[in-house]
Amino acid sequence: MARRKADPTRFVSLGFDAIDWIEHYLCHGPGDVQGQPLVIDDEMAAFIVKAYELDPATGRRRVNRAFLSRPKGRAKSELAGALVCFEALGPCRFDGWDANGDPVGRVQTYPFIRCMATEEGQAGNTYDNVATMLEHLVEHFGDEFPGIDLGRNAQTSSRIFIEGGGEIVPSTASSASKDGGKETFGVFDETHLYVLPETRAMHKTVRRNLVKRRQAEPWSLETSTMYAVGESSVAEATHQYYEAVKAGKVRDGGLLFDHRQAPHVEDLMDDAQLLPALEYVYGDAAGWMDLERIAADMREPDTDPADARRYFLNQPGTASAKAFDAGRWEELANPDFVVPKKELIVVGFDGARWRDATALVGTHLETGHQWVLGAWESPVRPDEAEHWEVPASEVNATLEAAFDQWRVVRVYADPPYWEETVAAWAGTYGERIVVEWWTHRPRQMAFALRAFRTAQTDGSLAHDGDTLYARHIANSVKRDARVRDDDGKPMWTIQKDRHDSPRKIDAAMAGCLSWEARRDAITAGLNKPKKSSRMVVMR
């Protein structure tokens, strides 16, 4: 091989060879065009080229982990299947430079490729494509690739052996931990479905295995449609990791994050908005996708608009993932009502100390009217937010003023980051009044939030119209609490749309704690007049 002077600014990739190899040897997988020659469109070709980028000095792979996010029907599993075949049989690793200074590839030594599936007994879409493609390859190019063993046929294949050593295996959560960790390539298909502990553990196990064979330069590919916010899927975690890398909070470990999302569509019923958005998000595939049929399906009465946006517009953070109805919240505003002095009230407190937000929300015991006693939010600009801290003296003064103006009978406070402050409040105002109410308890929090939302729905709650409070209510996104109510229905808690999101929810949480304090105070009879303690003198 030719030697050449290293140029650190030059882009070099084996992706061009990968595209040529795939289009020469492989066919389309299961579907309407099964068996026809596989042609990579420009959009997917660009992804492959980026995925096989090399260090121009050493020739080693730059990408250790790739994430491809596209809408439903974009043939992501087929692309993944084609890359599995290339990793198993093609010149997928650097072997020097040619006379023009371009990289030359070699076949992987003992490729061990794992195609992950989410359910036991299910081979998975990626593996189905691999089996069909390699059956075609054996039939038409068997002399070039002797000894490929698919079993009886592509339909029944459960493990593929390669002559000279190497395997392609479909794996589930239970089997991924049993093969000793010798992977050279791993495909995680549809990682928005990896929401259960066992599938998340499978992802972690295989990713950990990929560091063991340094010479093989192992890597992984995740394909996904956009995740549902709050389900804690692998796709959501990968997105959060990417955001942390982009913000400079963590070191880039060789991540390629390729996500295509439609622009916002206000009205799904409006063709003038929806069809251009679908055309954009489907990219090069828009020409062969039936976009009008997709639009019609999105509008079906039994189709959840949130799912429609997620699957076909590839958008996270959709309306049905929202914990509260922002429109209903606006209807409950009553800014003219002022709670009279010395009335019985309760207070909810939630927040962080640094780079976030903190709020105190009061609730009138008699009427259920809520108002923001005080709220503190970090600046929007990252450089200003980095060193920002909630002014604790102002928080203390705000609570003290509430005790001075009204008769505070309960304070429910979430203690993290404020443990000493909350303890001091209990010492000042009494342990029976100031209560540590931990929000990390899923079942208790879920029931409290359900009561808080019910109060909004039935109108037993009103509020002062504070814009920050309204914004925090609107920002709140459901998170599966992984508990069920007494009827067996799943319950939820709330979170931000992602853990590092600038969209705060602390006032919403404080409002929920305030409402829960009111419910408990009423249950305890604190809203009833106390009986006179004066002695009655009989005459």
Q: Is 480 helix (H, G, I), strand (E, B) or coil?
A: strand
pLDDT of residue 344 exceeding 70, the answer is yes
Amino acid at 313: L
* Overall average pLDDT of the 376-384 stretch: 79
User: How far is it between the farthest Cα atoms of the chain?
Assistant: 120
Q: Which pLDDT belongs to residue 316?
A: 79
Q: Can you read off the two tokens belonging to residue 72?
A: 């439903």
Q: How far is CA 14 from CA 47, 82, 91, 534, in A?
A: 12, 15, 8, 92
User: Within 10 Å of residue 144's Cβ, how many Cβ atoms?
Assistant: 10
Q: Which pLDDT belongs to residue 493?
A: 93
pLDDT digits (tens, 9 = 90+) for 59-118: 999 999 999 999 999 999 999 999 999 999 999 999 999 988 899 999 999 999 999 876
Q: How far is Cα of residue 226 from the mean position of the Cα atoms in its chain?
A: 8
pLDDT digits (tens, 9 = 90+) for 395-447: 999 999 999 999 999 999 999 999 999 999 999 999 999 999 999 999 999 99
Amino acid at 320: S
CA pair distance 375, 310, nearest whole angstrom = 33
Under a CB-based contact definition with an 8 Å cutoff, are residues 517 and 412 in contact?
Answer: yes
Give the CA count within 13 Å in the CB-facing half-sphere of 38: 34
CA pair distance 370, 509, nearest whole angstrom = 13
pLDDT of residue 533 exceeding 60, the answer is no
Residue 147 falls in which region: left (phi positive, over 0), alpha (psi -120 to 50) or beta: left
CA pair distance 347, 372, nearest whole angstrom = 10
Q: Which pLDDT belongs to residue 320?
A: 59
Q: Which pLDDT belongs to residue 534?
A: 39
Q: Can you read off the two tokens belonging to residue 416?
A: 């993290």
More confident call, 349 vs 122: 349
Domains and CATH numbers, the chain: 12-226+235-257 (3.40.50.300), 271-318 (no CATH), 326-523 (3.30.420.240)
DSSP states along 481-501: EEEE-TTS-EEEEEE-SSTT-
pLDDT of residue 271 exceeding 90, the answer is yes
Q: Which pLDDT belongs to residue 366?
A: 96
Residue positions counted in the chain: 539
pLDDT of residue 365 exceeding 70, the answer is yes
More confident call, 101 vs 520: 520
pLDDT digits (tens, 9 = 90+) for 354-363: 888 999 999 9
Residues β-bridged to residue 484: 490
φ, ψ for residue 110, nearest 5 deg: 45, 75
Range with the poorest average pLDDT among 273-282, 302-311, 409-418, 478-487? 302-311
Q: Which pLDDT belongs to residue 175?
A: 56
End-to-end CA distance of the chain: 119
More confident call, 378 vs 359: 359
Task: Kindly indicate the confidence band of residue 536, based on its pLDDT and cuts at 50, 70 and 90.
Answer: very low
* Overall average pLDDT of the 489-515 stretch: 87
Write down the mean pLDDT value for the chain. Answer: 89
Q: How far is CA 137 from CA 38, 98, 145, 150, 185, in A?
A: 12, 28, 8, 11, 20
DSSP states along 119-183: STT---HHHHHHHHHHHHHHHHHTTTSTT-B-SS-TTT---EE-TTS-EEEEE-TTTTTSS-S--
pLDDT of residue 301 exceeding 80, the answer is no
Task: Kindly indicate the confidence band of residue 31, based on its pLDDT and cuts at 50, 70 and 90.
Answer: confident
CA pair distance 414, 349, nearest whole angstrom = 6
Give the CA count within 13 Å in the CB-facing half-sphere of 254: 19
* Overall average pLDDT of the 392-396 stretch: 96
Based on its alpha-carbon atoms, the radius of gyration of the chain, rounded to whole angstroms, reads: 29
Q: Which pLDDT belongs to residue 6?
A: 54
